[in-house]
Amino acid sequence: MTQYLIKNVSIEGAEPTDLAFKDGQIVGRGPQAAETVEDPQVIDGTNLVALRGLVDLHTHLREPGGSAAETVYTGTRSAAVGGYTCVHAMANTSPVADNALVVEKVLELGERAGFVQVCPVGAVSKNLEGHALAELGAMNKSKAQVKVFSDDGKCVWDSALMRRALEYVSTFDGVIAQHAQEPTLTAGSQMNEGVVSGQLGLRGWPAAAEEIIVARDIILAEHLNARVHVCHLSTAGSVRLVRDAKARGVKITAEATPHHLYLTDEQAHTLDARFKVNPPLRTEDDRLAVLEGLRDGTIDIVGTDHAPHPAQTKDCPWDEAAFGMTGLETALPIIIKTMVQPGHFTWEQVVQVLSVNPARIGGVADQQGRPLEVGEPANLCLVDPQVTRVVDPDRQYSKSKNTPYAGMELPGQVLYTFYQGKMTVKEGRPVEEGIQ
């Protein structure tokens, strides 16, 4: 395996230094790092920031069954370009990842692709139907060692089923990641319920539909002393609920998406279905509340909710379009724009919400989100925070092009990514012909 020496790089915002790694492990950090490697490939890290490899707790890779939108190969390639070294692949595939056979297949596809660590997420209910528990124990005991379970795309709306799921996963320190959407309040909904939905004549999706489920799950988690994770939190009310629950010691964690940190329902005025997402883009007040929740630690992580779709399901009238946006290649630039540039976050805090905390919640903290220190795995990315680029969907590496940021200028670019010491991205492009 190639040995690497990165010279004069700022590690998570610290003063520039050198970093060396070989055989998948960091072997040198500081002025003497060059002495730890022989004939290394040298990378000039001047003006670059080295970050721990990013970890996404919320990725839709679509495979098996949805390869028209994405495959494990193309999705993880896109993830590597975004600086990720680990993604958790959601269960709403076809067939659904509700048993050991399917999660092991997803694991195998991820290992074969080689760009990132792929952690399959298991379904909570059989076939995502919300009636009977999926094979939670079998998936946990499988080669995939599943620790995160979610019916994402659908809500575990039945309280008795949610209780049983929380009790079951507590036996092996698993977590239920909830898509908080009370279905009877959102039937036929197209966007956030508010002024804009009234102006456009589109059926609204009330904030209360999210908050009711968040509140119920807090009560269950507190009653059972079990772990629950709120996916793609999007309303000011949900932020308040989670903040209050954490103050009482409830085992709850929460994620925000980049798009809920940056965009609002005002974008729906364009009727461009790339802005149609689940949960919907909310009001400016909601966006600011989510930003504050991330800043004060109420929200633990940023998850992309990368949701690729074939062109024909997004290039159509709004009410006929699928919900979802791609996000793996733009997540870090959005965090730089919304959190770093305004001074809300240091690079160390970026690493917490994009690497350390998702690794901990997802049960991979022994491999991912590790400090860039001697003896630790060489999972990292090198970022140029000064460059700005106009987002061009045709130059992204996801199979699908449904990014809401098309034509927008965003800061920052990942120039290199290393997964287990292997170069997966070089000068902003994936290394595809044999991971180096």
**Does 269 carry a binding-site annotation?**
no
- The answer to whether 260 is annotated as binding is no
- 324 assigned ligand-binding residue: yes
d(CA 332, CA 122): 26
User: Which position among 158, 272, 305, 384 bears the catalytic label?
Assistant: 305
Q: Is 259 labelled a binding residue?
A: no
Long-range contacts from 346-353, C-beta under 8 angstroms, 24+ separation: 346/13, 347/10, 347/12, 347/13, 347/49, 347/51, 348/12, 348/13, 350/51, 351/12, 351/51, 351/52, 353/294, 353/299, 353/300, 353/301, 353/302
Cis peptide before 393 (omega within 30 of 0): no
The answer to whether 58 is a known ligand-binding residue is yes
Check the annotation: does 92 bind a ligand.
yes
Tell whether residue 179 is among the known ligand binding residues: yes
Phi-psi region of 321 (alpha: psi -120 to 50; beta: other; left: phi over 0): beta
**Is 174 labelled a binding residue?**
no
> Has 60 been labeled as part of a binding site?
yes
| Catalytic site includes residue 394 | no
Q: Specify whether the CB–CB gap between 352 and 382 falls below 8 A.
A: no
Residue 305 labeled ligand binder: yes
Q: How far is CA 102 from CA 87, 117, 179, 271, 316, in A?
A: 17, 17, 21, 37, 32
Q: Please check if 344 is assigned to a binding site.
A: no
Q: Tokens in use for 382?
A: 């090198």
Residues of each annotated binding site for Zn(2+):
58, 60, 152, 179, 232, 305
Return the active site residues: 305
Residues of each annotated binding site:
58, 60-62, 92, 152, 179, 232, 278, 305, 309, 323-324
Residues of each annotated binding site for substrate:
60-62, 92, 278, 309, 323-324
